[in-house]
Amino acid sequence: MKKAAFFLALTLFLASFFPAYAAKKNSEPVVTAEPIPEPTANPDAAPYDPEHPDELEPDQLWAASAVLMTQDKGEVIFEKDPDSIRYPASMTKIMTVWLGIMFVEDLNETVIVSETAAAVPEDSSTMHLKAGEEIRFIDVLYGTMLVSANDGANVIAEVVSGDIPRFVDLMNTTALNLGCLNTHFMNPHGYHDDNHYSTARDMAIIAREAMKNETFREIARTISYQVPRTNMQRARTLTTKSDYMLPGSEEEPNKYYYEYATGIKTGSHSQSGWCFCGAASKDGVDLISVVMFTGKRNRWNDTVKLMNYGFSQYQSVTVADLYNMNPITIETSNYSTSDTNRGKVKLLCKPLEGSATIVATKADVKRMADNLTDLVFIQYDRDFQAPIEAGEQIGTMTYFPEKGDPVVYALTAARSVEQRTNVPKSLDEIVAETYADPNPFPPFNFEFALTLFAPLVVLGVVIFLIRRARKNRRAHKLRPPKPVNRYVK
């Protein structure tokens, strides 16, 4: 609790520097009486083909705003007017529940429902909490998510921050710190207020951050939850309002159910239209989607379209598949002049033990194949001189996954390459032949003798000539001079 209190104090301190994002102190938001018309499909849009989800176009969604984002990197892979200001309604509770998990140390502690928390507008969705009721905090978290309980959201706010206005300040500061510059909250539950707004992109960012938390993910994917008996109510079962997550029964299957669904939160009121923030996982790919201002049933259809589009953009490949998209070709030396490929050999790749699978977008798969050396370590076992036999191992390729042990692949020659005739022996061949010869001395013959003694004869002649020249020079210096005739006149 001390740690949570410290972060709360720090967050509120930061909030003082952003007055434009401070929450309005209004505990009784007003609902506009006249509902806005439900959105309609674009009559000029091409018909949606569920057999080709990768061809989805923005106009094929009923939602006025939509975004599809990867959970791991936060990369947006589809969008439709994602930055327009709209009302998030009960999707607001994603932020509320997440903050409740982050700032309360003991989620199993018992909390007391205050009169302020229980006092919500009559048309609110609730978990029917009563003032003075003693209930576990974890039960409030589940109830707030599953049945979109406004009273539960108020309880979370008061437990975390002491009162609702200060919690709203925390919500706005947290949104700002996440980079959600087009979001402003007025309450912890999303009941309509003209100054309570967000965007599809911002809500996806908040949901993605919340889904990083294991406890939140568990709550988000829960369909049914048993609330134990309290001091004022008997035990009861809460069931999610999301048709997207309910499989139905064999007799009455739910046509809106999505088998890859993992959460998370609905939203609706007279001014927001129908909204939904969804999550789904398939083959190692985790996606977050948000649709805002769409139809009651079309929010499920829109979400499924987005998810199927997202999964269609991914493919699962092995490291060997990536290699085969751009295999290594080596150039050998000393190859036969009859080799039609001029000594070039493609190297085949096969795992020595185990295998590794990578799931990525089609664009990322191509990028990784083109730059495979950024992912693997290649080491060659021999030089590239002929002869080379088909299937001979030339080297190894090692892939180091983020989790797990390295995977080693053998790089083998796809064909044989013969050595050309009369090729000079390499130093290794000469050394090998020398060690293989049982006679330590080479056989004697005239050529060997000439090769061995000719340099000595030449050296002796040179020494003889040098000495003779020196002797002649000394003799010339010791000879007396010839007499010279002199005449005197």
364 contact partners, CB below 8 Å, separation of at least 6: none
Active site residue 27: no
User: Residue 417 carries which DSSP code?
Assistant: B
The SS3 call for residue 324 is: helix
Active site residue 161: no
Which amino acid appears at position 221 of this protein?
Answer: R
Token pair in block for residue 44:
């000029």
CA 72 – CA 208 distance, rounded (Å): 8
Active site residue 477: no
* Residue keyed to tokens 């061995």: 452
49 contact partners, CB below 8 Å, separation of at least 6: 55
Catalytic option among 65, 80, 90, 268: 90
From the CA atom positions of the chain, what is the Rg in Å?
A: 41
Residue 474 main-chain phi, psi, to 5 deg: -65, -40
**Residue spans of alpha helices (H) in 293-393:** 298-312, 319-325, 362-370
Catalytic option among 114, 125, 148, 289: 148
CA-closest candidate to residue 98, choices 24, 158, 165, 174 = 174
Burial of 31 (0-12, 13-18, 19+ CB in 10 A): middle
**Residue spans of alpha helices (H) in 385-442:** 427-436
The SS3 call for residue 415 is: coil
Catalytic option among 93, 198, 242, 265: 93
CA-closest candidate to residue 29, choices 145, 204, 176, 164 = 164
* Contact indicator for 286, 279 with CB cutoff of 8 Å: yes
Annotated catalytic sites, by residue?
90, 93, 148
